[in-house]
């Protein structure tokens, strides 16, 4: 069994964890008592994250609904990432051709904070589409709680790129 330092990606503290790895598979997650910041703290969500990762109901592939679309009706069929991506691209193209690029909007949630390239890639994607509409929860939940210069700290659209929510990010 190998001990591998890692961290919990569920929320902002990014609590330090130690993964016990055997034969390339994580067997257990524990708080990292040697970490200088979180010093052995991790809540039940971080420590039990393996249960979510290994849950048999966890989605590992796209599912597309077939037939009746009412709640509880129809069938969910596994699809390849390629075919689902093609479908989404076709639907976006149709919307943009019919209503213009601002008819497409994005909503960035908490997980992008833990993906170094995620928010940049999302910005590029929407700029490529020509849409100026990207939203995040900051105006509703954290308009003033983050220091200036932090991403998502200002609820107003950037006057330069009209996409970022803060001028310092463009
Ligand atoms: S262990 Fe708990 S408090 Fe720490 S990052 Fe994960 S969810 Fe958040």
Residue range(s) defining the domain that contains residue 149: 92-169
Ligand 1 binding pocket includes 16 (Cβ within 6 Å): no
What pLDDT score does 140 carry?
A: 53
Q: What is the count of structural domains for the chain?
A: 2
Ligand 1 centroid, distance to 129 Cα (angstroms): 35
| Chain Cα centroid distance, residue 91 | 22
CA pair distance 81, 132, nearest whole angstrom: 27
Whole-number Cα distances in Å, 94 to 22, 66, 89, 103, 122:
48, 21, 9, 11, 20
Q: Tens of pLDDT along the chain (170 residues)?
A: 999 999 998 887 889 999 999 999 999 999 999 999 999 999 999 999 999 989 999 999 999 888 898 888 889 999 999 999 999 999 999 999 999 999 999 888 777 777 778 878 888 999 999 998 888 776 555 544 444 444 443 344 444 444 444 444 44
| CATH number of the domain enclosing 17 | 3.30.200.210
Indicate whether 107 and 165 sit together in one domain.
yes
What pLDDT score does 106 carry?
A: 87
Ligand 1 centroid, distance to 57 Cα (angstroms): 22
- Tell me whether residue 122 is in a domain: yes
Q: What is the pTM of this model?
A: 0.62
- Tell me whether residue 78 is in a domain: no
- Tell me whether residue 152 is in a domain: yes
Closest atom of ligand 1 to CA, residue 31: 1
Structure token digits, residue 112: 């992008």
Contact at 8 Å (CB) between 84 and 64? yes
Q: 3-class DSSP state for residue 62?
A: coil
Which stretches of the chain are assigned E, i.e. beta strand? Answer: 2-7, 16-22, 25-31, 63-66, 75-78, 106-107, 134-135
CA pair distance 84, 80, nearest whole angstrom: 6
- Tell me whether residue 86 is in a domain: no
- Tell me whether residue 49 is in a domain: yes
- Tell me whether residue 27 is in a domain: yes
In degrees, rounded to 5, the angle at the alpha carbon of residue 121 between the alpha carbons of residues 119 and 125 is 115
Nearest CA to ligand 1 atom 6: 46
What pLDDT score does 126 carry?
A: 92
The CA radius of gyration of the chain, in Å to the nearest whole number, is 20
- Tell me whether residue 80 is in a domain: no
- Tell me whether residue 26 is in a domain: yes
């Amino acid at each position: 069994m190998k001990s591998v330092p890692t961290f919990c990606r569920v929320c902002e503290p990014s609590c330090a964890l130690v993964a016990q790895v055997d034969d390339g598979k994580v067997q257990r997650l524990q708080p990292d008592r040697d970490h200088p910041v979180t010093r052995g703290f991790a809540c039940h969500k971080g420590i039990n994250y393996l249960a979510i990762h290994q849950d048999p109901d966890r989605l590992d592939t796209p599912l597309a609904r077939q037939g009746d679309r009412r709640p509880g009706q129809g069938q969910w069929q596994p699809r390849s990432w390629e075919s689902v991506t093609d479908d989404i691209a076709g639907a976006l193209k149709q919307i943009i051709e019919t209503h213009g690029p601002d008819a497409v909007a994005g909503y960035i949630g908490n997980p992008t904070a833990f993906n170094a390239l995620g928010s940049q890639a999302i910005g590029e994607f929407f700029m490529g589409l020509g849409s100026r509409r990207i939203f995040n929860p900051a105006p509703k939940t954290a308009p003033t709680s983050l220091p200036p210069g932090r991403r998502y700290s200002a609820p107003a659209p950037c006057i330069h790129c009209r996409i970022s929510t803060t001028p310092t990010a463009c």
